[in-house]
Structure 1
Amino acid sequence: MQYYNNKTLVYINGDFIKATEAKADMYSQSLHYGFAAFEGIRAYKTHNGTRIFKAREHFARLKRSCALAGIPFNWDTEQLMRDTYKLLELNQLKDAYIRPLVICDPNMSLTAPAGVSVVICAWEWAAYFGDKLLRLMISSYQRPNPRSTPVEAKLSGHFMNAILASTEAKSKGFDDALMLDHQDKVAAAPNANIFIERDGRLYTPKTGNILPGITRRTVMELCRVLDIEVIEKELTAIELKNADSAFLCGTAAEIVGIQSVDSIIFPQSWNESIGSVIQRAYKNVVLEKVNYEVII
């Protein structure tokens, strides 16, 4: 996939420059050690114009991720939001995926950096998984132990684990992986949270060993409005495989149904599942086809 061309602009520390002219320091701590924080955000073309979904929440989480990791963050999030809209306008993007990234200055020691830069890129990107139901496998790779790293922070280094799990699954003919935590409880997909349906209720792994996604929280808010019960609890792989249906959710993935896990097919038709209801409601919210303030 081509993410940019010779006309594409990126944002670096308040300036808009051509992506082809942007440079990275070869001694950056982020390049050598994966010590960086980032966000994934979506903009949608709505009847109200191009709107960034939950921009404030995403930039607040970027700031919190930096705080949890000891990475300096000295930018005003409201200004970053305005600059992101400007970046979309300059690149003539209506529907877009947005990637803010906080990069550490040169530092070859294993200590917190003295300085950082903020970069924002954007590109056209359809739904991460497309519109098909997913075939997942339980990965041999686990999510990081919460005592080894701040798992609630969205940090670049965490995603080596995600790449390994996703690559393993795809090499075996699956669409993606599903990862367990260090206690062998269901955690998440490499880049999305999971919900399962059983007897008219939704269940999702409780926080502590997962990245508590903004889309995950949106799903739970929608469920409150729609009077759908959601239970946060530890889930075993057996409970997962005995579910009626299941779905993933995330900024990139949006809401996507799961056909099977380890080739065990869920018995409920996706079109009759709670996940399908949530999928439609979520799309209506992000496209502002309903009153966002009333719904959530």
Structure 2
Amino acid sequence: MNMQYYNQDTYIYLNGDFVKASEAGADLFGQSLHYGYGAFEGLRAYNTHHGIRIFKAEEHFDRLQQSCEAIHLPYTWSTQQLMDATYELLEKNNLRAAYIRPLVFSGPNMHLTAATTANIMIAAWEWGPYLGQNLLRVCTSTVERPNPKSFPVEAKVSGQYVNAILASNEAIKRGFDEALLLDQDGFVAQASSENLFIEKDFKLYTPPLDQVFPGITRQTVIELCKELHIDVVEKKLSIQDVLEADSAFLSGTASEIIGIKEVNGVTYKEDWEHTIGASIQRKYKKLVLEEENYEVII
């Protein structure tokens, strides 16, 4: 599981400059380190026949700004500025296909007050699909998705991902690949860091946005379904709905589109290759590689 994210030649972008990752210092008195008070994003760059393309870069950096605003973290950068810097970062590190991690973190402050200063770091490294390529064995977690009244669940906030670590770690210890988290009312919300779709009677169903993270890949799946004339219904899903589905899959930038083999030991009978999810998986790969001209904005 451990991997080397950088070496002595790797550059990161830090507050307007490109610096060696091995030489970048960290402030040990910041709220981000002590309290998880920071926001981040995950993007992917693909090596297409048109050159290096970051998929939906504008949407990701816009969402980074929205996440910072949701937790009152200063945000002073433009989307275009950060997009340009990221392409330059990829070039400096000679990366054609990569996972990209921008992080906004606070300046030194030990009080539980809104930050008055913030920094931005962007890193990139080669990273295959986060959950691998094989169909997943998934279980429901004893860890619940945070209550939206206690936390802005629509924001990609660093501290919130302790919740994801706990759920994912529990699933792996039980012999599964990933966890499904329920909301405070007992409905299925999402996986630890991916959105969930289930297929039933040639339709897709996915939990509504009020309890889940507004994934950009989730939205891309919905857009692709419109192109393919596949019905997508956003509704609250019980664990029974998930167990009785014909098939299911997860979506996320790091994981892309990945099918589920079983949930809580119940195996889906539908052959994955014949499911809507598999069709979406193939269309998504062609989309990010710019092999087909969809009306989805990249």
**TM-score above 0.5, yes or no:** yes
AA aligned to 1:223 is: C
Q: 1:17 aligns with which of 8, 16, 19?
A: 19
Structure-1 residue corresponding to 2:278: 276
Q: Does the CA-based 8 Å contact 1:194-1:248 persist in structure 2?
A: yes
Q: Does the CA-based 8 Å contact 2:143-2:167 persist in structure 1?
A: yes
Taking the TM superposition and a 5 Å limit, the aligned residue runs for 1:80-99 are 80-99=82-101
| TM-score normalised according to structure 2 size | 0.98
After superposition, the C-alpha distances for 1:122-151 in whole angstroms (9 at most, x for unaligned) are 000011112100000100000000000100
Structure-1 residue corresponding to 2:222: 220
**Aligned partner of residue 133 in structure 2, secondary structure:** coil
AA aligned to 2:114 is: A
- Residues 1:145 and 2:147 aligned together: yes
Unaligned runs of 5+ residues in structure 2 are none
C-alpha displacement of 1:97: 0.2
Structure-2 residue corresponding to 1:188: 190
**Aligned partner of residue 280 in structure 2, secondary structure:** helix
C-alpha displacement of 1:76: 1.1
AA aligned to 1:6 is: Q
C-alpha displacement of 1:176: 1.1
Unaligned runs of 5+ residues in structure 1 are none
Counterpart Cα distance in 2 of 1:151 and 1:132: 29
Counterpart Cα distance in 1 of 2:211 and 2:47: 34
Taking the TM superposition and a 5 Å limit, the aligned residue runs for 1:233-244 are 233-244=235-246
C-alpha displacement of 1:294: 6.3
What is the count of residue pairs matched by the alignment? 296
Structure-1 residue corresponding to 2:263: 261
Structure-2 residue corresponding to 1:198: 200
Structure-1 residue corresponding to 2:35: 33
Structure 1 runs of 4+ with >3 Å offset: 292-296
Counterpart Cα distance in 2 of 1:139 and 1:240: 14
Q: Does the CA-based 8 Å contact 1:225-1:295 persist in structure 2?
A: no
**Aligned partner of residue 287 in structure 2, secondary structure:** helix
Q: Does the CA-based 8 Å contact 2:101-2:123 persist in structure 1?
A: yes
- Residues 1:231 and 2:206 aligned together: no
After superposition, the C-alpha distances for 1:213-268 in whole angstroms (9 at most, x for unaligned) are 00000000000000000000000000110000000000001000000000100111
C-alpha displacement of 1:295: 8.0
Distance 1:84 1:295, change over 3 A: closer
Distance 1:129 1:260, change over 3 A: same
C-alpha displacement of 1:291: 1.4
**Aligned partner of residue 125 in structure 1, secondary structure:** coil
Q: 2:172 aligns with which of 170, 178, 192?
A: 170
AA aligned to 2:85 is: D
Taking the TM superposition and a 5 Å limit, the aligned residue runs for 1:48-87 are 48-87=50-89
Counterpart Cα distance in 2 of 1:87 and 1:124: 13
Counterpart Cα distance in 2 of 1:70 and 1:96: 30
After superposition, the C-alpha distances for 1:41-87 in whole angstroms (9 at most, x for unaligned) are 00000000110000000000000001111111011110100000000
**Aligned partner of residue 224 in structure 1, secondary structure:** helix
C-alpha displacement of 1:99: 0.2
After superposition, the C-alpha distances for 1:73-121 in whole angstroms (9 at most, x for unaligned) are 0111101000000000000001100000000011111100110000000
**Aligned partner of residue 45 in structure 1, secondary structure:** strand
C-alpha displacement of 1:293: 3.8
Note the aligned Cα RMSD (angstroms): 0.9
**Aligned partner of residue 217 in structure 1, secondary structure:** helix
Counterpart Cα distance in 1 of 2:107 and 2:220: 34
